Structure 1
């Protein structure tokens, strides 16, 4: 009897026909034109850096054991291992993407040593630049650049004296009776590894996920921090489609992705597996038990214990935007099937400035200390969704859409950073809008100033400002990357920038009078893909 993946049986087990294979080849050719794939040299460089990092970590473990006067037999067998996770482990990282990695050490160490002793060892390497330890983060992390590759390192301790090479971190006993910070650090690898084990064809899953990630970035809806969806959420959604179409080729998976999720009835959750609820007293997403979980608008649940909602930041506005973009994708895929459209149309960049009549411009900052500037930019970006939440409660605001990339200020004031929020308003009087929104602006500014002071990163030269402008009042000089000689541009592809670096592009804004598109209503969804998922 063939293996069944997921909570239900497949919707279709049909094998690909010739037309499906032709469409897959066209999709792959289109994706390659966006220059998101690494070449062999870049891939080998990334692998070499990762191996060097793991070797350095193992050397450090032995050194720290010697400093602690650990018995020689324990020191020799202490091992140590680094597990990649995120897009790199899933095999869908794009050109220039960072590496997320989990460092696992023996339980007799102290977590503090990783952020002090190992941090110092890393900093001493000539290949390492821009290193920073962020211990107070929800998941404590060391960030650094190694020969141009950005790396985020998290740390977890194993409840044993050594870390063998064949360690299976999917065993739930791994997270029993350990520090919650270690649980969170383990979670990244455990989730991505479980996703790979829950799809019937890993290769097809990877290519389909690359396509969906490219689409989401082109359409400005790829950001967990700003209330959209991040990499893990998109991966779980694509994995669910792979489970119910186990024999489908990549193009079919992408088409079915938009068809299924254009009919999805939120907040029915997306889940890949029934996660066992161990009695380890860890936070576990369960709307039957946790009242706050019932308020989540778009639950997409991780497939490893303790299960969590990856899309907890989704708001009313971002859900509407996500639904609108998925419906757009479905309409284009229907035309592709009818040979009335090309795949390049799916990946067209959205024109954020043409879509919204009013735009909030915020936050203008002038920071003289470089380290404070980096931290303040991160602080503001992580809290923008609070401003969106406040705006959504305003009777004049129908929808608020944060542009996922920060913009530099005027070139004569290069210490400024701006974020833009497109607004759909229920009022035509801009003066009334300005007066009505000032309270929201003031509250947000006070929150940022307070958090900056409590984190010791407040700078007296910092100024924050929020302004509501009509789109024609925003004028930028276009700065677009020239196409690479090896790239073949699809007909509808505007300014082919790397999917991870779209925020560096500026747009010239002209006077326009077009109104924003309206939200498309949901249809009913096929019950086979989510049978009674709340139970």
Structure 2
């Protein structure tokens, strides 16, 4: 009998029934992820839904008590039951034990931002289940970060018109930005990004398995800190979705193989986009700033990954020349390993092997600060980290430096109450000038001192920065950090 199906039909049908080898590869991945605490967990989903309900109830009660002197608006919002919208990976169903729960709090305009980030945060901090609460209010998107029970939560705030709270107008429509101030718009953007991504995914279960694998790979290879110029969860999500758009029915092993091969050889800084957006004339005239693909003075987009919702933003604006080089080297390594995994020659453990930062560099800049401050510790750490990131870019621009690598995690010594950051770097073979580095260290110290004065922090803050070779680290670091590193 002649097969009258089209080539496309045969291809699609064929991809719906993976081979036994592909099933085994997928099963091995699920087991490996589970062993590492990754992969979807029904228990973790239930726990986060419970956390959302608890915070929403507490927030609703606080709104009511805060609006007692404004009875008109209080009467209107009493009928509103839900003031919280989940964002991020939770909306995609990718929920692991270590997953952060990003929540957008919708508030009537009568609730001031300073009320939320001071009075509400203080009330929240008094709850028995809340610990390690930190206010990050100086960033473009302010956030209350804390643990509720053992779930890490980020709370964002957007003030909206009452009509959106009541459901008379849809919050999914981009016209909502015309009713918001800039701070609320930037916070709300994450909600629209999550919605846009979810609409683009056709094979959700397969997608989530591949995304969990990418998250574990990024974590173990030291690439999961977007603040430090690496790849955050949302960047990985968009890159993976780009691959899925042209490989809709591929099994997870093929998806990951194509992912690493495609982006290791991508013509950066050509931007990665998964969706073209036409928001209409009204939104084009809005005051919201979108990512501009045209070259800009003093701004270089080394690895632009663009959000699929208005206003479009570059998620990887913190990527530098060196961090892009590090990411691409890791993708090349992963691409080679994936070929052998798909062929049955290697296991998934090879892909997820941990990267040892300290084995890859012989020279480091070591930044140290005391953490026994009773006041303004979070503010001080945020300030110091921001100046460290500036320093890394300056080192990166030195022509004698081949590569700069800020360790994606800091180290706390509980014996000495100190925190350490490490910047590994490689000089060009012809570089012998140490004066350039000494001047940079001196400039960094003066820069931080001036920022301490501007922020009106204590003059007694202790910090230092030194150049150290690998063989010197063991003699200058506390024992608890030495045991963790080596």
TM (norm. structure 1) is: 0.81
Instruction: Return the alpha-carbon distance in structure 2 between the equivalents of residues 124 and 463 of structure 1.
Output: 31
Instruction: Return the alpha-carbon distance in structure 2 between the equivalents of residues 21 and 164 of structure 1.
Output: 47
Aligned to 2:369, what secondary structure does the other structure show?
A: coil
Superposition pairs of residues 485-524 of structure 1, within 5 angstroms:
506-508=484-486
Q: What is the match of residue 365 of structure 1?
A: 369
Does the 8 A contact of 1:213 with 1:231 survive in 2? yes
Instruction: State whether structure 2 residue 260 is matched by structure 1 residue 282.
Output: no
Distance change (3 Å), C-alpha of 1:368 and 1:76: closer
Q: What is the match of residue 516 of structure 1?
A: none
Does the 8 A contact of 1:80 with 1:164 survive in 2? no
Instruction: Return the alpha-carbon distance in structure 2 between the equivalents of residues 166 and 344 of structure 1.
Output: 51
Does the 8 A contact of 1:236 with 1:300 survive in 2? yes
- Shift in Å at residue 274 of structure 1? 0.3
Distance change (3 Å), C-alpha of 1:294 and 1:118: closer
Q: What is the match of residue 375 of structure 1?
A: 379
Q: Which moved more, 1:52-61 or 1:111-120?
A: 111-120
Instruction: State whether structure 2 residue 256 is matched by structure 1 residue 235.
Output: no
Q: What is the match of residue 30 of structure 1?
A: 32
Q: Which runs of 5+ in 1 are unaligned?
A: 1-8, 480-502, 509-535
Instruction: Return the alpha-carbon distance in structure 2 between the equivalents of residues 379 and 504 of structure 1.
Output: 26
Instruction: Return the alpha-carbon distance in structure 2 between the equivalents of residues 420 and 71 of structure 1.
Output: 52
Q: What is the match of residue 116 of structure 2?
A: 114
- Shift in Å at residue 182 of structure 1? 0.3
Instruction: State whether structure 2 residue 472 is matched by structure 1 residue 473.
Output: yes
Counterpart among 154, 157, 167 of residue 155 in structure 1 = 157
Instruction: Return the alpha-carbon distance in structure 1 between the equivalents of residues 187 and 418 of structure 2.
Output: 34
Q: What is the match of residue 133 of structure 2?
A: 131
- Shift in Å at residue 147 of structure 1? 2.1
Q: Which moved more, 1:187-196 or 1:302-311?
A: 187-196
Instruction: Return the alpha-carbon distance in structure 1 between the equivalents of residues 332 and 207 of structure 2.
Output: 21
Counterpart among 254, 257, 267 of residue 255 in structure 1 = 257
Structure with the largest fraction of helix: 2
- Shift in Å at residue 297 of structure 1? 0.9
Distance change (3 Å), C-alpha of 1:416 and 1:211: same
Q: What is the match of residue 404 of structure 2?
A: 400
Q: Which moved more, 1:306-315 or 1:248-257?
A: 248-257
Which structure has more relative contact order (CA 8 Å, sep 6+)? It is 1
Q: Which moved more, 1:299-308 or 1:148-157?
A: 148-157
Alpha-carbon displacement from aligned partner over 1:177-225 (angstroms, at most 9, x marks no partner):
4210001110112112211111211221111111011101111111111
Q: What is the match of residue 440 of structure 2?
A: 440
Number of aligned residue pairs: give it.
Answer: 468
- Shift in Å at residue 61 of structure 1? 2.5
- Shift in Å at residue 48 of structure 1? 1.4
- Shift in Å at residue 383 of structure 1? 3.2
Distance change (3 Å), C-alpha of 1:421 and 1:243: same
Does the 8 A contact of 2:164 with 2:171 survive in 1? no
Q: What is the match of residue 5 of structure 2?
A: none
Aligned to 1:176, what secondary structure does the other structure show?
A: helix
Q: Which runs of 5+ in 2 are unaligned?
A: 1-7
Distance change (3 Å), C-alpha of 1:268 and 1:166: farther
Does the 8 A contact of 2:18 with 2:251 survive in 1? no
TM (norm. structure 2) is: 0.88
Q: What is the match of residue 342 of structure 2?
A: 337
Aligned to 1:229, what secondary structure does the other structure show?
A: coil
Distance change (3 Å), C-alpha of 1:77 and 1:461: closer
What is the aligned-residue RMSD (CA, Å)?
Answer: 2.7
Does the 8 A contact of 1:61 with 1:78 survive in 2? no
Counterpart among 228, 249, 273 of residue 226 in structure 1 = 228
Superposition pairs of residues 202-221 of structure 1, within 5 angstroms:
202-221=204-223
Q: What is the match of residue 321 of structure 1?
A: 326
Instruction: Return the alpha-carbon distance in structure 1 between the equivalents of residues 190 and 250 of structure 2.
Output: 28
